[in-house]
Amino acid sequence: MRARMKMMMLLLLLVAAVCKSNAQSNDSSNDSKQQQPSVWDDTIRFDTKTKDSCTMAVSTAGNFTRLRVSCRAPSQTTGRSYYCDFQGKPTQCRAYNNSPRHYFTQMMWELRKLKNACQGAKIYRPHMCRKYSDEAQMTFLTSWPKTSAPKRSKPIQEQRKPAAPAQTKPTATHKPAKPQPQTAKTQVGKSSQSKKGTPKPVKTTTRPTQEPATSASHLATEYCWKSFHGLCSYVISWFQN
């Protein structure tokens, strides 16, 4: 009886050990499904232009490669943190397959120039794979918290444009009245008045002086004394007539 009891106890212990090991394997498989394995354990770290401390973690999702950029502000009082995800198929690039870490290092050089690492370009083209299609590049997928796209700043010339001077209303000017068309009667009347009003030029004819008188006075001046010019001219003219 004691031997049978020992056997039963051993069997129960074996069954319990097998069940426990299966449960642990199921939990680990579920955790692995929820947490996608990283391409490499050593994440890429960098600081942004505003000294935000960021990390780059790469994982796989089916045929796609995903990148999560997580950042935290340097000040502990604000506690500002954010992250963004990128997705693409960089495995189509031969240079990426040879050195995937260098691919994301080149992408990091662009991210570190920004004030906010999640407010940059929608598609990143590292130099080593820039000739490949958009599908092979890392494309922006989502971010947290949701931030609106930064507005484009106006050109400096428009910002420094001087204020336009106040426009003064022009004083009302009276337009000259249009001359009314004259009727035919008024035109005829005016033409007749103009004809009547203009005096005709008077022809003045100078009467020719009598040739005998002029010749008599001429002869008197030549042959008579001055005191007798009148008498001589009269006598000469009498004889001429």
Q: How far is residue 128's CA from residue 239's CA, in Å, rounded to a whole number?
A: 146
Structure tokens at 92: 């189509």
Structure tokens at 111: 């991210």
Query: pLDDT tens for residues 62-107?
Result: 999 999 999 998 876 566 899 999 999 999 999 999 999 999 999 9
Least confident of 26-30, 87-91, 213-217: 26-30
Structure tokens at 10: 């051993």
pLDDT category at 158 given cuts 50, 70, 90 is very low
What letter does residue 191 receive in the DSSP assignment?
H
Closest-CA residue to 94 (of 128, 54, 123):
128
Query: pLDDT tens for residues 107-141?
Result: 999 999 999 999 999 999 999 999 999 999 999 99
Closest-CA residue to 136 (of 68, 70, 86, 83):
86
Query: Residue 118 has what pLDDT?
Result: 95
DSSP letters for 76-144: TTT--EEEEEEEE-GGGSHHHHH-HHHHHHHHHHHHTTSSSTTSS-SEE--GGGTTS-GGGSEEEEEEE
Q: How far is residue 60's CA from residue 35's CA, in Å, rounded to a whole number?
A: 10
Cis peptide before 145 (omega within 30 of 0): yes
Confidence (pTM): 0.46
The CA distances from residue 201 to 30, 198, 204, in Å, are 132, 9, 9
Question: In terms of C-beta density within 10 A (0-12 exposed, 13-18 middle, 19 or more buried), how is residue 58 classed?
Answer: buried
pLDDT category at 221 given cuts 50, 70, 90 is confident
DSSP letters for 179-190: PPPPPHHHHHHH
Report whether 85 contacts 144 (CB < 8 A): no
Rounded to 10 degrees, the C-alpha dihedral 127/132/136/138 comes to: 40
State the sign of the Cα–Cα–Cα–Cα dihedral 92, 96, 101, 105. Answer: negative
